[in-house]
Amino acid sequence: MKKPFKILSPTAILGYGFPEESFRRGIAEKPDLIAVDGGSTDPGPYYLGAGKAFTDRLGVKRDLRFMITEGVRNNIPVVIGTAGGSGAAPHLAWCREIILEIAREEGLSFRLAVIPTDIPKDVVHEALDAGRITPLDLVPALTHAAIDATPNIVAQIGVEPFIEALRAGAQVVLAGRAYDPACFAALPIMMGYDEGLALHCGKILECAAIAASPGSGSDCAMGILTEDSFILKALSDDRKFTTESAAAHTLYEKSDPYFLPGPGGVLNLTGCSFTDIGDGMVEVRGSRHERTRPYRIKLEGSAPVGYRTISIAGTRDPIMIASIDEILATVRARVDKIIGAEATARVFFHCYGKNGVMGDLEPDKGALAHELGILIEVVASSQEQADTLCSLTRSTLLHYGYPGRVATAGNLAFPFSPSDIKAGAVYEFSIYHLMDLPADTLFPVRLEQVTGKGDPA
């Protein structure tokens, strides 16, 4: 009979934070693992392409200080996936440096494993030529040009590189882009716990207490694996797990309610059950992991497509609001005529209060608000062109004489001065494809002995 295996998930993403009291409660439970999924593609393509973190360094360091200090001092492995938010080489280096700073400041010595997950472009080119790359749904076929245009290409690794690092004696594991549940599931799978239960538990814990009620990504949660189930437990008096909250989060970020594909397999939830066992805890049974061949991983990459400038404005004129679609179309045509072929740019209007969130997918297209927020967005081939076209569009809309207009002082109210905001480089996802993994590993584990001075030996 295996003893219960306890996994502490402090926060949904490094830098989101968590109450110290919740974390201390988790440590008091004597967890076997502290794990965190450090990132996501949810914030969009910019951060991967630009090599920037989307959470604040101070917040990430605060979260990691708690995790690493308690982990090392209590001999609890600490496993971090998708370092720096996107998991490419610059994100990994950024997060590693924070870990070394913490080691220096806290006088900690430990064995650190670093797992890069960047895929060299020549490997992707070769796989494309060999027919080993397929697009995901609604994604165009990959091209060699897209590969060349993409600064950082990463792969979502599964549990295998984490297991290799842990078997080698790593006390802290820092990985690049990883399948969300992998950092939670690797150690228990290595110790013989059921793959399906470990991965499903990790799927829920990767968002920490978001799966509790009320949900929060900035609070801690615990998963307890047994031989034939796992138990979800909140670590704050403010929330609890319910069968509904746990089941609902199981559906989170899934195109199919029963099957969740990942590196080398599929999580099958057709026989899954959720049982309230009291005290705000839920027990989950029946999750199965089915391995697939060939072993496939998801590639992610984003490429620069231009530069953005925005302007934010509002209107409360009922005459303008009633004809806003026609007005914006006319303003766009007028700007196009003025600028002609002098700029390569795209102009977008986002009307909050009228389809601003869902755009063309909005089912209630006839609704009228008493005021509108209008976001003017311009994407051009240079920042200068974006600035120029945004200025022209904003001034044209500001003074456009639409039918029925009474006042001539201006149509828009601007909350900021200056009204135009340079938003910098724009990226879009260029690679979102599956690749058959070759027989040789692409994810070597680098081991470092971190001394009390924080320097690798």
E-only strand ranges, 180-295? 221-225, 230-234, 259-262, 265-268, 273-278, 281-285, 288-291
Regarding the domain delimited by 303-430, which CATH topology (the fold level of the hierarchy) does it fall under? Alpha-Beta Plaits (3.30.70)
pLDDT tens digits along 31-77: 999 999 998 888 999 999 999 999 999 999 999 999 999 999 999 99
Which SS3 state, helix, strand or coil, does residue 353 take?
coil
d(CA 48, CA 378): 22
d(CA 382, CA 311): 17
Q: Which region holds residue 117: left if phi is over 0, alpha if psi is between -120 and 50, else beta? A: alpha
Mean pLDDT per 10-residue interval, the chain, length 457 residues: 94 96 98 94 94 96 98 98 97 98 96 97 96 94 98 96 97 97 98 98 96 96 97 97 94 85 94 96 97 94 97 96 95 88 83 90 85 97 95 96 89 96 97 84 91 65
At which residue do the structure tokens 């034939």 appear?
228
Cβ-count burial 169-181 (b if 16+ within 10 Å, e if not)? ebbbbbbbbbbbb
d(CA 111, CA 125): 35
The confidence score (pLDDT) of residue 407 equals 80
Closest CA to 86 of 32, 25, 42: 42
Domain boundaries, the chain: 5-117+156-295+437-450, 303-430
The confidence score (pLDDT) of residue 145 equals 98
The confidence score (pLDDT) of residue 452 equals 78
2: Cβ contacts below 8 Å, ≥ 6 apart: 192, 193, 226, 227
